[in-house]
């Protein structure tokens, strides 16, 4: 019988929201963590099933990375993901609770609030066998640096109900997800070599999801991905020329204009970026300079962020007439791990590739070939539509 590594309650001193955290390991050695907000679990009078009854071989995955000499960017190769689970039938949903008489899933318990576990098909892996060694260079030429893509990828299940979306969660359950993001950000940032922690959600078959069950993922990276590195470069340059924080400048500019502001909270500002790339796009940025990532947030900040996020998710699903579930990506940008941390800030990019009802914007020649974005709308039109929906919801 598996036993938890620890069982704790996690909450800031001023937080009314308390979460019970219980750890275990799956049959192949991957870690699984339950995050429970229901009173019986918080009080310790109820427990989750910890034993994974499946017969699985030990987790063993090989991921490597190589640097492109033309761009300087790293590319990860994870060939084991080619045959990962793809749109299984309802009775084979690996993210559902394990039900008596049915196929055992990734989650041993017959119910859960929020659960996080190591991805069975990770892009970056901490389960690379010891006997797998990568040379420092491809073909022994310094032109092509390479190495093991060692980091951790996790799955975050928002709810045991497969037909729901994040926007359908109660405030309390969504707040538990925020606690899970904060908890995992802190621990993943402590892994040796990790440079960035990135929580995200892909929603919709149009995005390319392989499992319809409502879930997100958390990637930790042993390098700074292209966007994070570009933002870091811009933030450093802005400060070095004597202009202060780039993020504070953006917040000031958007609040002064007001033209694209969607929600102006005490701790966060939701707005459409002035240079929005996607047909539907919104950003939520922390106002406090020290809010580098989820782990830095106060209880009050987590509460407000949860409310704003739920409102935006409700709005994006009403953005297009006749579309019940708008496909989207929710990308939570966080500060880099390490000495450049002060040049980062927690902010959300929420965007959709849908340009009109059931019609997608494809990243073709200009975007894919040159990284040169062409928008079919304007940020102001996007903001007008968001505000129309948000204001209607307040009536």
Query: For residues 41 and 113, is the Cβ–Cβ distance under 8 A?
Result: yes
Active site residue 252: no
303 token code pair: 């509460």
Q: Determine, yes or no, domain membership for 263.
A: yes
Q: Determine, yes or no, domain membership for 214.
A: yes
Instruction: Work out whether strand 268-271 and strand 261-264 pair parallel, antiparallel, or are unpaired.
Output: antiparallel
Whether the pLDDT of residue 15 is over 60: the answer is no
Measured CA angle at 169 (ends 166, 173), to 5 deg: 110
Average pLDDT over residues 204-216: 91
The pLDDT, as a whole number, for residue 98 is 97
Question: Quick one: which of 329, 81, 117 has its CA closest to 218?
Answer: 117
Please say which residue of 164, 196, 223 terminates a domain: 223
Q: Are both 19 and 127 inside the same structural domain?
A: yes
Q: Are both 186 and 93 inside the same structural domain?
A: yes
Residue 69 vs residues 124, 138, 141, 143, 230: alpha-carbon distances, Å = 21, 12, 11, 6, 17
82: DSSP letter = G
Q: In the chain, how long is the greatest CA-to-CA distance? A: 66
Q: Determine, yes or no, domain membership for 2.
A: no
Whether the pLDDT of residue 12 is over 90: the answer is no
Q: Are both 95 and 207 inside the same structural domain?
A: yes
More confidently predicted of 271 and 394: 271
Please say which residue of 199, 223, 247 terminates a domain: 223
The pLDDT, as a whole number, for residue 209 is 87
pTM: 0.95
Q: What are phi and psi of 260, to 5 degrees?
A: -115, 10
Q: Determine, yes or no, domain membership for 26.
A: yes
List the CATH number of the domain containing 185. 3.30.428.10
Q: How does the average pLDDT of the chain come out, rounded?
A: 93
pLDDT in tens, 340-357: 999 999 999 999 999 999
Q: Determine, yes or no, domain membership for 334.
A: yes
Q: Are both 329 and 383 inside the same structural domain?
A: yes
Tell me how long the chain is: 395
Q: Are both 170 and 274 inside the same structural domain?
A: no
Q: Determine, yes or no, domain membership for 50.
A: yes
9-23, 59-73, 119-133: which range is least confident on average? 9-23
Average pLDDT over residues 373-381: 96
The total number of structural domains that make up the chain: 2
The pLDDT, as a whole number, for residue 296 is 97
pLDDT in tens, 19-38: 999 999 999 999 999 999 99
The pLDDT, as a whole number, for residue 1 is 35
pLDDT in tens, 250-303: 999 999 999 999 999 999 999 999 999 999 999 999 999 999 999 999 999 999
Average pLDDT over residues 48-76: 96
Alpha helices in the chain (DSSP H): 39-43, 171-189, 226-240, 246-257, 299-316, 370, 379-394
The pLDDT, as a whole number, for residue 69 is 97
Strand order across the beta sheet in which 328-333 lies: 7-10, 19-25, 31-36, 114-118, 153-157, 215-221, 196-203, 328-333, 347-352, 280-286, 268-271, 261-264
Q: Are both 251 and 212 inside the same structural domain?
A: no
Query: For residues 149 and 64, is the Cβ–Cβ distance under 8 A?
Result: yes
Q: 169 is in which domain, residue-wise?
A: 7-223
Q: Determine, yes or no, domain membership for 1.
A: no
Please say which residue of 172, 198, 223 terminates a domain: 223
Q: Are both 198 and 233 inside the same structural domain?
A: no
pLDDT in tens, 98-108: 999 899 999 99
The pLDDT, as a whole number, for residue 11 is 40
Q: Are both 189 and 232 inside the same structural domain?
A: no
- Roughly what angle, to the nearest 10 degrees, separates helices 299-316 and 171-189? 120
Q: Are both 203 and 313 inside the same structural domain?
A: no
Q: Are both 188 and 258 inside the same structural domain?
A: no
Of residues 183, 215, 238, 252, which has the active-site annotation?
215
Whether the pLDDT of residue 390 is over 70: the answer is yes
Q: Which residues contact 144 (CB under 8 A, 6 or more apart)?
A: 66, 67, 69, 137, 138
Whether the pLDDT of residue 6 is over 70: the answer is no
Give burial (CB, 10 Å; 0-12/13-18/19+) of 164.
middle
Q: Are both 171 and 67 inside the same structural domain?
A: yes
Q: Are both 42 and 127 inside the same structural domain?
A: yes
């Amino acid at each position: 019988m598996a036993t938890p590594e620890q069982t704790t309650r996690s909450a800031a001193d001023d937080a009314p929201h308390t979460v019970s955290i219980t750890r275990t390991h799956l049959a192949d050695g991957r870690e699984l963590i339950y995050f429970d907000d229901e009173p019986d679990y918080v009080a310790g009078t109820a427990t989750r099933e910890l034993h994974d009854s499946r017969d699985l071989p030990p987790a063993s995955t090989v991921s490597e990375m190589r640097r492109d000499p033309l761009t300087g960017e790293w590319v990860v190769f994870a060939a084991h993901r080619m045959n990962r689970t793809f749109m299984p039938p309802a009775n084979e949903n690996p993210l559902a609770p394990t039900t008596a008489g049915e196929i055992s899933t990734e989650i041993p318990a017959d119910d859960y609030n929020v659960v996080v576990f190591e991805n069975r098909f990770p892009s970056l892996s901490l389960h690379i066998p010891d006997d797998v060694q990568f040379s420092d260079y491809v073909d022994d030429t310094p032109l092509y640096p390479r190495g093991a893509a060692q980091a951790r990828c996790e799955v975050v299940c928002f709810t045991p109900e497969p037909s729901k979306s994040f926007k359908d969660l109660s405030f309390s359950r969504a707040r538990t997800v925020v606690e899970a993001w904060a908890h995992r950000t802190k621990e993943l940032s402590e892994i040796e070599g990790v440079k960035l922690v990135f929580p995200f959600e892909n929603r919709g078959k149009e995005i390319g999801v392989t499992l319809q069950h409502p879930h997100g993922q958390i990637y930790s990276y042993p390098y700074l991905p292209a966007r994070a590195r570009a933002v870091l470069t811009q933030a450093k340059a802005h400060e070095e020329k004597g202009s202060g924080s780039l993020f504070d400048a953006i917040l000031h500019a958007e609040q002064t204009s007001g033209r694209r502001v969607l929600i102006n909270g005490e701790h966060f500002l939701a707005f459409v970026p002035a240079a929005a790339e996607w047909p539907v796009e919104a950003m939520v940025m922390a106002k406090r300079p020290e809010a580098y990532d989820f782990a830095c947030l106060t209880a009050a900040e987590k509460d407000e962020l949860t409310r704003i996020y739920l409102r935006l998710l409700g709005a994006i699903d009403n953005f297009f007439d006749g579309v019940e579930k708008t496909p989207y990506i929710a990308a939570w940008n966080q500060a880099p791990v390490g000495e450049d941390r002060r040049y980062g800030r927690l902010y959300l990019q929420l965007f959709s590739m849908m340009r009109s009802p059931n019609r997608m914007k494809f990243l073709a020649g200009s975007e894919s070939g040159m990284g040169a974005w062409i928008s079919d709308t304007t940020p102001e039109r996007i903001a007008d539509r968001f505000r129309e929906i948000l204001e209607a919801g307040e009536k």
